[in-house]
Amino acid sequence: MSEIDEYIGNADQFPILGNWDFFQHAGVSPLPRVAADAMRKFLDDIESKSYLESTWYKDIETLRIAAAGLINAHRDEIAFVKNTGEGLSIAAFGNDWQSGDIIVTTAVEYATNIYPWMELAHSRGVQLVMVAEETDANGCRVVPIEKILDAAADPKCKMVTLSHVEFASGQRHDLGQIGKFCRENGKLLCVDAIQSMGVLPIDVKEMNIDYLSSGGHKWLMGPLGSGIFYCRRELLEKTRPPIIGVSSVSTAEDSTDYKYILKTDARRFESGALNIPGLLGLKTSVELLANLGTQNMPSDFAFSPIV
């Protein structure tokens, strides 16, 4: 038995195994003990000491580094969000759109990766192209990559937005090929990674990903209400925060003038107080995954296409 098999089958590390044989991390993951302990410690500390002796924000900056490492990003490219939809909405509403711009996705996305783009179609006149799913020669339900690329080849296409792993069929899109096409042809690639981050290797540089968002409560084994958003460094200045608060700025001058300068890193997308207990729990889970290595995860942990 490998180290990872021994760890993930350990009921002391994953107490749910004392009650259930649990396989549905693609829904809501049970917390590993280390994550629950970190959250309990936060509650004990804030109950008895408030923030007076805390290291919360230092610990969360450690999470920023660890999360960046999982996807081969830089810490400055990572922001914390409440869920996948919040990050996708930053990518959607933080860009400039012209009426007639085209966004390409599939017709089988989870709604989280559809509603922001539908709102752009409604409010800014963009066209949302949804490539249909088909049955391939092996009897699997897939969205053909060649049809995604054909739709994206339209000169008016500005962005391709896809789930890395489709929630219903389990199709794993070839982000390397799609990202290469997008980068070479001046298109943006936005990825919903909630069904893959933590269980499949992701390299945002190698895959030419521009934006990526993932809630923490599935394969990342964190609590609900915690998530990670990636914005490629070269796009940070061009991507305006849809919501701005005191945490978004690096300089807050005299309050009667209300002058400010947006932070130059991805923290510009963090408008105010963070979900501290959730992120402390997520930190321990991300560190656990980093130590085990997503490349060592059993291949059947994530979905395979449905026949």
pLDDT for the residue numbered 20: 80
pLDDT for the residue numbered 256: 62
Q: Express each pLDDT in 42-91 by its tens digit.
A: 999 989 988 877 888 999 999 999 999 999 999 999 999 999 999 999 99
Q: Rounded distance, CA 71 to CA 101, Å? A: 29
How many other C-beta atoms can be found within 10 angstroms of the C-beta atom of residue 13? 14
Q: Express each pLDDT in 234-272 by its tens digit.
A: 999 999 999 999 899 987 555 566 678 899 999 999 999
pLDDT for the residue numbered 6: 55
66: three-class secondary structure by DSSP: helix
How many other C-beta atoms can be found within 10 angstroms of the C-beta atom of residue 224? 16
The domains located in the chain, with CATH, are 33-242+280-294 (3.40.640.10)
How many other C-beta atoms can be found within 10 angstroms of the C-beta atom of residue 27? 10
pLDDT at 176 over 80: yes
Q: Rounded distance, CA 161 to CA 46, Å? A: 40
Instruction: Compute CA distances 108 → 153, 163, 262, 297, whole Å.
Output: 20, 9, 36, 26
Q: Express each pLDDT in 293-307 by its tens digit.
A: 765 555 444 443 333
- The per-residue pLDDT of the chain, averaged, comes to 90
This prediction's pTM: 0.91
CA max distance for the chain: 67
Q: Express each pLDDT in 196-247 by its tens digit.
A: 999 999 999 999 999 999 999 999 999 999 999 999 999 999 999 999 998 9
Please give the full DSSP string across 152-218, using - where no structure is assigned.
Answer: HTSTTEEEEEEESB-TTT--B--HHHHHHHHHHTT-EEEEE-TTTBTTB---TTTTT-SEEEEESSS
Structure tokens at 280: 């402390």
